[in-house]
Amino acid sequence: MLDRLREPWTDRRAGLLLGALACSVLAVIVFMLVFIAIKAWPSFAHNGLSWFSSKGVVDQQLDAMVNSGPNPTSADYQLGAWPLIYATLLTTFFATVFGLIFSLLSAIFIVEFAPEPIRRVIVPVVRLLAAVPSVIYGLIGILVLAPFIGNSVISADQKTSVQFVIPLSGTGLGVAIAVLTVMITPIMIAITVDGLHSIPRAWKEGALALGVNRWRAMWTVTVRAARPAIIAGAVLATARALGEAIMISMVAGSKGFAPNPLDGFTFFFEPIRTLAATVVEDAESINAPAMQASLYAMALVLLVGAFFLSLGSWIAKQPLKKYGTRS
């Protein structure tokens, strides 16, 4: 047996072995989907589509699940996850929009306009921001930004205006969006820079030769041609923002509350909790069957969302292929 391993590998055997290892990746994805869907099924079965709606107070429902014991009844499975879904959508949407503007401008700056000394600083900075672990972002958010906002930005009037609905302490939607924007910007910048570099130089030089200024040539020719890359980057960053758990659970106030846009600017100070943050915070009570089914249901929603965003990013990138650029 060992002698057979020692003799030189035939091409066929090497190909089969490598192919089998590569296929294990697909097996992992299939298992992931199947296992999580099986575990999530009871929650969806007992709630139906009202799982996605708002019914009752979500935090009370989750607490009841923890106390429901090993044999929960159908009533224990009741969950209306809309506040959590709404919070996830809000943070993801705002972070992506702000991040898109911020990263597009920064990418143009890096590619075209930054003087050499600044470029030498900004490129390592982008890589630093990409490398910082999310727990450190969360630490800065909760120890620096949240106290600052709670003590200096939120006025006493704003606190009293909503004191019977929700107490404001500084941690909340606004801090979560700000930190999340910084977290997802590096990916978007990298993909946008790649896209801008892949546009043939001659196109922009043609525009310059026709007499437009450098900014307009960049904006109307290169950026427009690189649109697929920019969209792909934004979609990928959306997936990152969707799944961010630790940072959000630290800085967002951790309350299953749906912020009300009618509150005006106070809206951004109201505490929230996203799906991913709920999963990571309630993971310690996962042995209660009702809780377990609910958490896996949330994970399934996140998994399906991330899957479609991956698909969307792939579709968005297709037009770039016709310029003959890689990936």
Site for another protein in 70-89 (CB under 8 A): none
Q: Choose one: 48-56, 78-86, 104-112, 160-168; the region binding another protein (CB under 8 A).
A: 104-112
Nearest to 247 by CA among 298, 294, 178, 194: 178
Q: Which stretch binds another protein (CB under 8 A): 65-73, 79-87, 137-145, 264-272?
A: 137-145
Out of 180, 234, 258, 303, name the contact with another protein by CB under 8 A. Answer: 303
29 binding another protein? (CB under 8 A):
yes
CB of 300 to another protein, least distance (A): 8
Taking the complex as a whole, the smallest distance from the CB of residue 203 to another protein amounts, in Å, to: 15
**Quick check: 189 binds another protein (CB under 8 A)?**
yes
Q: Of 191, 194, 158, which is closest to residue 270 (Cα–Cα)?
A: 158
* Identity of the amino acid at 54: S
Contacting range for another protein; rule: CB under 8 A; set: 47-55, 62-70, 74-82, 123-131: 123-131
Task: Rule CB under 8 A: say whether 233 interacts with another protein.
Answer: yes
Which range in 44-52, 79-87, 89-97, 278-286 contacts another protein by CB under 8 A? Answer: 278-286
Q: Give whichever of 225 and 239 is closer to another protein, judged by the CB atom.
A: 239
| DSSP sequence for 211-262 | T--HHHHIIIIIHHHTHHHHHHHHHHHHHHHHH--HHHHHHSB-------GG
First and final CA of the chain: distance in angstroms?
A: 43
**Residue 9 binds to another protein (criterion: CB under 8 A):** yes
Residues 221 and 210: their CA atoms lie apart, in Å, by 12
Instruction: State the nearest-atom distance from the C-beta of 92 to another protein, in Å.
Output: 12
11 binds another protein (CB under 8 A): yes
- As measured in angstroms, the least distance from the Cβ of 276 to another protein is 5
The verdict on 124 binding another protein (CB under 8 A) reads yes
The residues near 249 (Cβ < 8 Å, ≥ 6 apart) are 138, 273, 276, 277, 280, 281
310 binds another protein (CB under 8 A): yes
286 is an interface residue for another protein by CB under 8 A: yes
Residue for token pair 């899957």: 307
Give yes or no for a contact between 270 and 263, defined as CB atoms under 8 angstroms apart: yes
Write down the least CB distance from residue 11 to another protein, Å. Answer: 4
Q: Per-residue string for binding with another protein, 154-173, x by CB under 8 A?
A: --------------------
Angle at 123 between CA 117 and CA 126, to 5 degrees: 140
**Near another protein in 235-254, by CB under 8 A:** 236, 239-240, 242-246, 249-251, 254
180 near another protein (CB under 8 A): no
Quick one: which segment of 24-32, 45-53, 159-167, 256-264 binds another protein (CB under 8 A)? 24-32
261 binds another protein (CB under 8 A): no
DSSP labels for 172-219?
Answer: SHHHHHHHHHHHHHHHHHHHHHHHHHHS-HHHHHHHHHTT--HHHHII
Q: Which of 186, 180, 177, 176 is nearest to 130 (CA)?
A: 186
* CB-count exposure of residue 51 (10 Å: 0-12, 13-18, 19+): buried
Nearer to another protein, 166 or 275 (CB): 275
Q: Which two tokens mark 206?
A: 């043609």
